Structure 1
Amino acid sequence: MQILGAGGVAAVALVGLASHAVMVSTAPAGSEQQSRPPYIVNKHRARAVQDAFRVSWDGYYQYAFPHDSLKPIAKSWEDDRYVFCLLFLFRNGWGASAVDAFSTALIMGNWEAVDQLLNYIPTIDFSKTNTEVSLFETTIRYLGGLLSAYDLITGPLSGYIPRNRTTQVYYILVQAKFLADNLKVAFDTPSGIPDNNLYFNPPRRAGSRTNGIATIGTLVLEWTRLSDLTGDQQYARLAQRAEEYLLHPRPALGEPFPGLLGANVDLGTGLFVDGAGGWGGGTDSFYEYLIKMYLYDPYRFSEYRDRWVLAADSSMKYLISHPTSRPDLTFLAMWRNRTLEFYSEHLACFSGGNFILGGLTLSDPSYVKFGLELVNGCRATYKNTETGIGPEIFRWQDGRTPLNSSNNPGPPVNESGFYEKSGFWVANGGYVLRPEVIESYYYAYRATGDKKYQEWAWEAFKAINESCRVGVGYSGILDVNRERGGGYRDFQESFWFAEVLKYSFLIFAEDDAPWQVRADGKNEFVFNTEAHPIRVAKGGRRPYSGKWK
């Protein structure tokens, strides 16, 4: 059965769209026009992104479903998900790409995929897996994806789902609760800080001694939302109790700059064991969720706002860095204790968007301005490579630190020319379909209405399509600074569906959809770190008439 009719398989038609795009201003007349930017809809570009979703989904559904991921060249599948920082390989086999694609299919109106997913979700057995389970990855992808789909279907998209699908919709929330019930054993530690690594059959901890602040601090939105939807507060209490150790860090080595923390916490004592960190992998989404929890419910989470402000202010004061060859660019340094390290990651490029969101939420233009500077810096990492895509890791020489000091070396000889032109050099040229730069373009556009951010997003989307489109889908590439990426990984990550395609679509789509970020801060949804939109609990407009939980 089709919900609203199948969407046909379409080739990704990119050539000539820019010159034939029909730009339509959607800013309303009257006083409201002055309270939001003059957004522009580009239906042709939005449709091209929808076509890329169809190609990716059809390839996955034909050759990989219900396994986790598609191998687009081999036309095969893997039950593989690289967990945090690509350190381990877990094989859950719960359909990671399917669940990650759910909210994007709903937002894009791909009702054929939605129909397939409504049939699939009740069949997943979240009690069985062949290996370890990552609490962090499972929360942001599966739990976040299920809760987001439920919020969308029971909220602004309720009129699009036939009444005879009520049981399948109900099972979305049932499955989310069942999954959390299996995962909650992670919190059974002396401190209440969860063990990130678990086993099922039966659920039990792997016995880790420490956990990272991102894997501790990127649970609270999803687990709190589950409690708010079900009325069972145990889930919120577990995540919020663990978060307390990050809101009040001890000892002093764990907070080398005000609000900026080390990376790892002891599960027995709750004490920090190091003072190294940054806005990159391992720590990034802890900072991201501080302001997002305040956006979700400013009544319950005002302390999270205060901690985000402290971290943001310290970043602007202590971490700001300008390359010697391009002082016009702004990056955020990493740190080890109070020594700065001048490298960053594609992962860290979400920070521009997070500063912008914080500025919009708090009505503070200084954060928006700084966020836009970070967006400009990350754009340079795309603009200057051979493929037009940014690298996994990049470095630079800081203009304020003594040159060639131990923490501020210059570029390798073979990279000096590239560094002089670009303001960075490539330390790891891989690209695994990451979303963070396009994510920040999205927030920049929603804050300003400046169409240059649409152009930058379109440039990035075309570059990814040029280098990563292969076989029956899209694949990561080996080196962004070689022609066509220097070869393929033959792996289509699930977050390609959840994040890259969603942000690329939203920046060109209708501006008044309830899940769009609002420049006035009155948001109805907040995106989790996997870009699954979660309906806010309080403080936002209520887009439909119905019971608000």
Structure 2
Amino acid sequence: MSNTSGKVSSVLVPASFSRDMLSLDDRKSTVGFPKGAGAMVGEGVLLTLGDDEGSSRSEVGLPNALRSLFDSVFLFFLSIGVRRFFFWATEVIVDLEEEAPGVKKPLGFSDKLVETKVTQSERLETKVSSNELAPMSGKIHNNFNGWGVTIYDALDTMWIMGLTEYFEEAVKVIGEASYTTKPKQYVPFFETIIRHLGGLLSAYALSKDPILLQQADRMGEMLLPAFNSESGLPAYAISTRTNATRGGWTGNTLWAEALSNQLEYKYLAHITGKPEYFEKAERCMQLMYEANVTDGIFPTQWNTKTGAPSNNKFSVGAFADSAHEYLLKQWLMTSRSETKIKDLYLNASKSIIEHLLYITPNREMLYVTDADMLKPSPPKPNASPESPRTTTQGATSTPSSIPSGTFEHLSCFLPGLLALGVQTLDLPESEKEIHSWAAEGLAYSCWLTYADMKTGLGPDVMSMKMYPKNEDGLWLPRVEKWKQQGRSGRPPGLREPGAASEKAGRDYTIYNRSYLLRPEALESFYIMWRTTGNPVWRERGWTIFQAIEKYAKTEIGYASIVDVDKSSTKAPVKDEMPSYFLAETLKYLYLLFTDEEIIPLDRTKGIRWIHVPFETFLEHKPPVPTLQPQQGQSPKINSFLRFPEDEYVLSMSLRDPTDRREMPANTNVYVTANCIRGVKKVTPSDWRSYMISCNPDIIFSLSDIPFTTPPYSQKRLTKSIERSALWLAHMLHSGPDSTSTPSNVFVQMVGGASAPARTTFAESLVEVLHGKEADAIQPRKCLDEGVAGYVFDMVPLRLAIEGVQGLSPNHSTIVSLIQASLLVLPPNKPRLVTSARGPHEMLLLIREVGIDLFDTYWAQRAANIGVALDFSFPAPIVTGKRDLGHNLYDTKYTRDFTSMMGNHDKDSAGICLCAACSPYSTPSPEIIRHSSMDEPDKHRDSSDSPNPPYTKAFLHHLLHTHEMSAHSLLAMHNITVMDAFFAGIRGLISHNSASIFEAEIRRFFETYMEDTDDMSRMEPKVFERAEKAWGEVELLRGKGRIARETERVKAESAVAANEVLKKEMEEKGAEGAVNVPLASNGEVMM
């Protein structure tokens, strides 16, 4: 963040802004949520929620950044491996009764058709005994432990499709599961993770059903000993009875097995607060970081004992497919913050494109194959240093490959992965171009293998025709040659030859003629449609769906096809229906034809809303910085502060909402603001011109909020209401053009501690104006039509209540006063609270008055006094009470080398991925030595994952040495914790009833109640302890404002006493009274 203003605070958005609120019918009492905002931004207008009959909607033009903020904040979409959709704090609407508006569907398509097919299959698969259905005989295949794999694998599909009845039935069955095994039975780790555990976690992330979390935690703990190898790589199978492990047929760990657990276990650590889940999975990633691989190429087999590669085969097929996906999606799961993971993905993708992408000689089909990689031979002594890639003796310095020519259906996930990377990574244009072409060409080849077949369904494995010289078929050199020759036509591999029969020549032979109901091609078609917008991918998906219906459908399910190129009208089928058919194949088909906003792919960034108090700029003359307009657009303050306009929403108020100092009284003509060099006065005309010049995304109107000592008289409250309304009208005054009229104005609600006064001010906002007053704000009829949201500043509100009651304000009083302001206002505009006192108060304000926005005042205040926050919502399933954070001034943290969100007992609220806590970031050696982390400690466990970059011990040291960096690191961490807290609220509200939300609030209070001494104040005890410790450190060091103030008062008192003594001595006529000796501290020496 820029520190230009010195007072910059980020505003975060909690759960109320949920797209799912559209289905709550204006949050009426039948649902149980309070009326509040819950707005969703459409194309350029703020669409406020009315009832289902279509009530009036306010239209307020909003910038792109704010549109993203209100639309689907913190939406996190992930596809786990090749087996799973995975949603983290997501907001989804699925309504099968209405077709998505504006969606062009293929001729004859019907949502009901897909729904019917899925419903038939789901009904069959939600039986207690179901594992995998035999769709011809009706028998049950007891695959994958006998734990009912289809129920688990299809859970999220049921939820996304709105099949509530079947979902609830499945959850009931899962809640009764015991996960027993026979005495000598071993559970396959990889398959159980991606089907059972992944199914539980994805369904929990969507529904927040505690049964799913309980069973996921139980299963995760049962499978965890699979990581207990010498290297930390997971074993092929584990006995859940004895924790004994068994290796697979290769004797090694396949790369897909090594990494296809990262998202599941790291998310499980996040929601249970158990770091051991994270640490075991992360140990596998550390092996990847440290591996001695060539040119970013990860081989398919790894030695389970040493953790080193054990072969030189590179593939994106059966032994490695999902590992590639987990690289990109882990990076996305960390809010795009962990560069090490991103680099692994980029290096691996680069190697795939360079070494594994080929084209066929006749049809120029682009395909990806396996290859044996030959390590580069060392250069001869007389090798030329001018040629790093080829030496004069012919020795190569980059690896060469021997391709197999095999093209697997499993590899058809790759075009979707590359397209997702183009969508989410900030790639250079040249790389983006290559990745996009590779995605498109590979996706088309996958489609062609379907279109070529007589059934319209793709074979499982093909052997592609190759050039006599392997290197002649490499795709990338051909693309570079095409570029050099002027880019005529489409790039090689993207020229889209038509379908061909076997006689006409397809450039491949079929190796495995089966269609196993696999999802990979449809997965890529879905992502290609979503990232390119090209409807051809929908059309191709629809064609495949029709072929599935024609050839795979049975009376009770869908069967795999034996030979996809048979000429008969009914191809022979296998009596098997894998669980992934419901978990993925039908899910991707469903999503391919539903509203594209159901699961946005591009909402993976956190909120970046920055609030800047303008009072800092008042020190300068003129106060408004010089802003450069950009290509016909109004200049924006964002560019001056170096906040990218398309990523940050920037709001401005005159005063810092967190400033507790008393301010001189306002007058009818100006407002006062505290600045570094004293008090400044700002007129409403000045404020309006400043805001037009700065053009922030949101403007706080001037409000006459008293900051002097209460109580306030009725006359003062009346004056406050009149001035605030008058100044708002001045801000909304219609100018000669649209650019001279500020938009997106948030009004600060006034009225002090008087409920009638607060209601009076609200009524003045909705009162229809007449005459000159109405002319001044045209075309609006009342002030509220120009208001985008409402602000409740808790600092002056608490001061007002204390002045009236003489006591600390209790929560019920605060709620009643806020409700008094909202009585006559529309329920569909955002409500922002500044300076809330902790998560308890925030939860109650969300529940009782529908507050939508909070600032990070509390998190930053905690950082200022040395508190590292450590809590989550929903609260972890644990026994006993917990603190909301750690007072790092406490001496018990002197030797605590854990991260700020964790401790020796491993009962932290979760895993924090901020830059100060993340184990991916490594501090410099100087920091390690400075913090004494190199000294041995009895609490340290050598088997744990690498140390976090900044530990509690190091932060404790920084605080006691008065280093400002401690507070910066704490602020970084605390805001991340609040971010996750709000995401948890949104995820719970989005898909649950008010009763579940209420139950989770109670559980949060029970878990963290001990940390709150007086629920009327909502102030945690950890703050009192930290503030006391902070003060003691300041005094002991003799530095800081407390020490300086104490010394100043002491010196002034000594001088005053000296003056009194001198005067008394003069009056008595004493000699030498003028020269009274003083000590160095100013005291009289007697």
TM bin (shorter chain): 0.7 to 0.9
What aligned pairs does 1:478-493 form with structure 2 within 5 A after superposition?
478-482=562-566, 483=568, 486-493=571-578
Q: Which amino acid aligns with 1:294?
A: W
Q: CA deviation at 1:194?
A: 1.1
Contact 2:551 2:571 in 1 (8 A): no
Whether 2:175 is the aligned partner of 1:133: answer no
Structure 1, 289-298 or 126-135: larger mean CA deviation: 126-135
Residue 153 of structure 1 corresponds to 207
Q: CA deviation at 1:419?
A: 7.4
Between the aligned partners of 1:282 and 1:289, the Cα distance in structure 2 is 14
Contact 2:206 2:987 in 1 (8 A): no
Residue 187 of structure 1 corresponds to 227
Between the aligned partners of 2:984 and 2:437, the Cα distance in structure 1 is 30
Q: Secondary structure at the match of 2:565?
A: coil
Between the aligned partners of 2:553 and 2:266, the Cα distance in structure 1 is 38
Contact 1:190 1:269 in 2 (8 A): yes
Whether 2:543 is the aligned partner of 1:503: answer no
Contact 1:193 1:216 in 2 (8 A): yes
Q: CA deviation at 1:313?
A: 1.3
Q: Which amino acid aligns with 2:216?
A: A
Residue 885 of structure 2 corresponds to none
Q: Secondary structure at the match of 1:545?
A: helix
Structure 1, 300-309 or 280-289: larger mean CA deviation: 300-309
Q: CA deviation at 1:429?
A: 0.6
Residue 88 of structure 2 corresponds to none
Structure 1, 352-361 or 330-339: larger mean CA deviation: 330-339
Residue 333 of structure 1 corresponds to 369
Between the aligned partners of 1:291 and 1:108, the Cα distance in structure 2 is 27
Between the aligned partners of 1:116 and 1:547, the Cα distance in structure 2 is 21
Residue 49 of structure 1 corresponds to 114
Q: Deviations over 1:468-516 (max 9, x none)?
A: 1012000111111113574121111100111001100001112222x34
Q: Which amino acid aligns with 1:382?
A: Y
Q: Which amino acid aligns with 1:242?
A: C
Between the aligned partners of 2:501 and 2:523, the Cα distance in structure 1 is 30
Residue 117 of structure 1 corresponds to 170
Q: CA deviation at 1:133?
A: 1.1
Contact 2:522 2:589 in 1 (8 A): yes
Higher helix share: 1
Contact 1:346 1:437 in 2 (8 A): yes
Q: CA deviation at 1:334?
A: 1.1
Q: How many residues align?
A: 468
Q: Which amino acid aligns with 2:121?
A: S
Q: Secondary structure at the match of 1:470?
A: coil
Structure 1 residues 228 and 422 mapped into 2: Cα distance closer, same or farther (>3 Å)?
Answer: same
Between the aligned partners of 2:416 and 2:177, the Cα distance in structure 1 is 34
Q: CA deviation at 1:304?
A: 1.2
Residue 304 of structure 1 corresponds to 341
The correspondence for 1:463, drawn from 527, 540, 547, is 547
Mind listing any 5+ residue stretches in structure 1 that lack a counterpart?
A: 1-25, 82-91, 155-168, 406-415, 525-535
Between the aligned partners of 1:404 and 1:170, the Cα distance in structure 2 is 57
Between the aligned partners of 1:326 and 1:42, the Cα distance in structure 2 is 30
Q: Deviations over 1:217-252 (max 9, x none)?
A: 1110100000001111111111110222233323xx
Q: CA deviation at 1:450?
A: 1.1
Between the aligned partners of 1:191 and 1:363, the Cα distance in structure 2 is 34
Q: Which amino acid aligns with 1:120?
A: V
Q: Deviations over 1:268-327 (max 9, x none)?
A: 111211011211101111111100001111466321110111111122222221111211
Residue 463 of structure 2 corresponds to 395
Between the aligned partners of 1:299 and 1:467, the Cα distance in structure 2 is 43
Residue 381 of structure 1 corresponds to 449
TM-score normalised to the size of structure 1?
A: 0.79
Residue 529 of structure 1 corresponds to none
Structure 1 residues 516 and 489 mapped into 2: Cα distance closer, same or farther (>3 Å)?
Answer: farther
Structure 1, 463-472 or 38-47: larger mean CA deviation: 38-47
Between the aligned partners of 2:554 and 2:280, the Cα distance in structure 1 is 43
Residue 362 of structure 1 corresponds to 425
Between the aligned partners of 1:28 and 1:463, the Cα distance in structure 2 is 37
The correspondence for 2:263, drawn from 221, 233, 238, is 221
Contact 2:255 2:301 in 1 (8 A): yes
Between the aligned partners of 1:295 and 1:202, the Cα distance in structure 2 is 36
Q: Secondary structure at the match of 2:502?
A: helix
Q: Deviations over 1:440-476 (max 9, x none)?
A: 0000001011111110110111111111101200011
Q: Deviations over 1:501-536 (max 9, x none)?
A: 1100001112222x3423x76599xxxxxxxxxxx9
Structure 1 residues 417 and 501 mapped into 2: Cα distance closer, same or farther (>3 Å)?
Answer: closer
Q: Which amino acid aligns with 2:201?
A: L
Q: Which amino acid aligns with 2:360?
A: P
What aligned pairs does 1:56-455 form with structure 2 within 5 A after superposition?
56-61=121-126, 65-81=128-144, 92-129=145-182, 131-154=185-208, 169-207=209-247, 209-250=251-292, 255-256=293-294, 258-298=295-335, 301-327=338-364, 329-337=365-373, 338-364=401-427, 365-366=432-433, 367-399=435-467, 401=469, 418=502, 420-455=504-539
Structure 1, 481-490 or 187-196: larger mean CA deviation: 481-490
Q: CA deviation at 1:185?
A: 1.1
Structure 1 residues 269 and 484 mapped into 2: Cα distance closer, same or farther (>3 Å)?
Answer: farther
Contact 2:229 2:305 in 1 (8 A): yes
Whether 2:76 is the aligned partner of 1:40: answer no
Q: CA deviation at 1:431?
A: 1.3
CA RMSD of aligned residues (A): 3.1
Between the aligned partners of 1:484 and 1:273, the Cα distance in structure 2 is 47
Contact 1:41 1:509 in 2 (8 A): no
Q: Deviations over 1:146-195 (max 9, x none)?
A: 111111013xxxxxxxxxxxxxx212111101101110111111111110
Contact 2:258 2:284 in 1 (8 A): yes
Q: Deviations over 1:30-53 (max 9, x none)?
A: 7769999x9726495333222111
Structure 1 residues 523 and 48 mapped into 2: Cα distance closer, same or farther (>3 Å)?
Answer: farther
Between the aligned partners of 2:359 and 2:42, the Cα distance in structure 1 is 37
- RCO (CA 8 Å, sep 6+): is it higher in 1 or 2? 1
Q: Which amino acid aligns with 1:431?
A: Y
Structure 1 residues 331 and 381 mapped into 2: Cα distance closer, same or farther (>3 Å)?
Answer: same
Identical-pair percentage: 25
Between the aligned partners of 2:984 and 2:223, the Cα distance in structure 1 is 32
Mind listing any 5+ residue stretches in structure 2 that lack a counterpart?
A: 1-40, 46-62, 72-100, 374-400, 474-499, 608-911, 914-975, 990-1003, 1005-1086
Structure 1, 361-370 or 453-462: larger mean CA deviation: 361-370
Between the aligned partners of 1:492 and 1:307, the Cα distance in structure 2 is 35
Between the aligned partners of 1:313 and 1:225, the Cα distance in structure 2 is 28
